[in-house]
Structure 1
Amino acid sequence: MTTKDWTSVKNAISRDIDEGRFAPGDQIPTEPELLRRYGVGRHSLRRAISALAKEGKLSVEQGRGTFVSAPLMLHYELGKRTRLRRNLAGQANDISRDLLEANVIAAPDRVRRSLGLEAGALVYHSRRLTSADGRPIAFGSIFHSVDRFPAFHDRRAVFGSVTETYRSYGIEDYLRAETTFHSRQARPEEARMLCQHPDLSVTIIRAVDALPDGTPIACSEVVWAASRVRFSIASGDDDRG
């Protein structure tokens, strides 16, 4: 195998994508068909596909095949009143949030400190996967005090959003009190959850939400697909979310 073998087929597949012969969402031909089409060896073809997957042009889905990635780059603004649905409104036809897990646990140390709870305090923990037009963009956990929000999971299921659930407890407004974030390479489970190549990065955002008087009401940790969402920091007393 020479460098030209795999780079030439990578460039050829990339050109076929750019020129519309392989459209976004299309499953590309099988490996035997691609070998005949591009006239290279199996190792060269696999290296080319792996490189295109790292670039985000192809998505290799185990058990299904290899697909052309649909272009998706969402803008998410982090501010004092960050609200997911308002943030993504108009950028995708459908924003879905699928519940993966909901339980009551003893507050981990980081959660306990963020929410100002005593040792041994119980919290509601929920874990959700967020998708835009059917493509995963984030998944993560949010924690609420059991004492402060009795039956939170039941109410969340009824009201459909965190903001509306808070209103059922008499909370009309809340602010982002703290946000920290960093990027790193995805871990295997994160890459699987986000349907992305393992070599692509994720952005980890940890946040604490509070009442206007500063009382913390929730903390969260969310893993975002860095190749699909870009972030900006709102300045001033932002009210757009």
Structure 2
Amino acid sequence: MRSQGQTWVEARDRINLEITSGRLAPDTRLPSEPELCVLYGTRRHSLRKALAALVAEGKLRVEHGRGTFVERAPLLNYVIGSRTRFRENLMSQGLTASGETLAEMKIPASARVAAALDIAVEAPVHARSWRGFANDLPISMGWGYHDAARFPDLQERRRTVRSITEVYRSYGIADYRRLRTTVFTRIASESEAAMLMLRAGQSVLVVQKIDADLDGRPIGFSEAVWAGDRVQFTFESDQPTVMTTERDSDV
């Protein structure tokens, strides 16, 4: 048996080296504490401090009732700024962006949608549900809303072009900016977990956003659910308004 004298820093560095070298692959469950103490030659209190440090650094994750696992590196660093584009975000990192429409309809605006788009409650809006992919792996799904009075045939135009940016240009909107982004976390619903290929009980990131034309008039509102283990968000300093909260309610 190895000496039990290694410090928590030495234990942390040894475990970290095994993670960075690939010997401990993402999603690998670590052995029990007694086994780790023998393997890394340290006492239990030092081991626990080393594991806690690696959890804080994002190298490990603790799943209560299951154990300690090697964390996955996010597939995508999604940059949110005044000009946020799904396709450009993925292409800049060598990823292939794609998506599918799940549902389309025209509905009366709810109070929440009306407030976001600065229109009257129950005014007609185009509602579209979608799912987004990076390299064919699902990373997001959600609903988007547009004022039907301003964009009367939006759904038809979307079928002929590949991006909402091109649709806006067809209406004479040369460019647009992110007006507001709100981010919070919650547990994925059963249907969301299935659609995003997540484990039951896994957390998702919910992103609500409002885009506006260059005059500051809202043109689109959406709420998307993102697979939290496949994406991290970076907010650029020119982002006008960012609101971050944590909730347990459904979308």
Fold similarity call, TM over 0.5: yes
Contact kept? 2:129, 2:143, Cα under 8 Å:
yes
Residue segments in structure 1 that go unaligned for 5+ positions in a row: 1-14, 25-49, 58-68
Number of the residue aligned with 1:185: 187
Q: How does 1:145-184 map to 2 (within 5 A)?
A: 145-184=147-186
The 1-side partners of 2:239 and 2:155 are apart by 31
Number of the residue aligned with 1:233: 235
The 2-side partners of 1:127 and 1:73 are apart by 23
Q: 1:56/1:198 Cα in 2 relative to 1: closer, same or farther (>3 Å)?
A: farther
Cα distance, 1:108 vs structure 2 = 1.4
Task: For 1:100, give the aligned amino acid.
Answer: L
Number of the residue aligned with 2:133: 131
Cα distance, 1:236 vs structure 2 = 2.8
* Equivalent of residue 200 in structure 2, options 198, 201, 211: 198
TM score, norm. by length of structure 2: 0.66
Number of the residue aligned with 2:221: 219
The 1-side partners of 2:133 and 2:93 are apart by 12
Number of the residue aligned with 2:112: 110
Cα distance, 1:120 vs structure 2 = 2.0
Cα distance, 1:158 vs structure 2 = 0.6
Residue segments in structure 2 that go unaligned for 5+ positions in a row: 1-18, 28-64, 241-251
TM score, norm. by length of structure 1: 0.69
Q: Give 3-state SS (helix, strand or coil) of 1:193's partner.
A: helix
Kindly report the root-mean-square deviation, in angstroms, between the aligned alpha carbons of the 2 structures. 2.8
Figure out how many residues of one structure are paired with residues of the other and give that number: 184
Q: Give 3-state SS (helix, strand or coil) of 1:198's partner.
A: coil
Higher relative contact order (CA 8 A, sep 6+): 1
Q: 1:145/1:132 Cα in 2 relative to 1: closer, same or farther (>3 Å)?
A: same
Task: For 1:196, give the aligned amino acid.
Answer: L
Number of the residue aligned with 1:121: 123
Q: 1:51/1:212 Cα in 2 relative to 1: closer, same or farther (>3 Å)?
A: same
Number of the residue aligned with 1:61: none
The 1-side partners of 2:177 and 2:233 are apart by 18
Contact kept? 1:144, 1:219, Cα under 8 Å:
yes
The 2-side partners of 1:212 and 1:187 are apart by 36
Number of the residue aligned with 1:29: none
Identity between Structure 1 and Structure 2 (%)? 36
Q: Deviations over 1:15-58 (max 9, x none)?
A: 9xx669x999xxxxxxxxxxxxxxxxxxxxxxxxx949x9598x
Task: For 1:140, give the aligned amino acid.
Answer: G
Q: Give 3-state SS (helix, strand or coil) of 1:159's partner.
A: coil
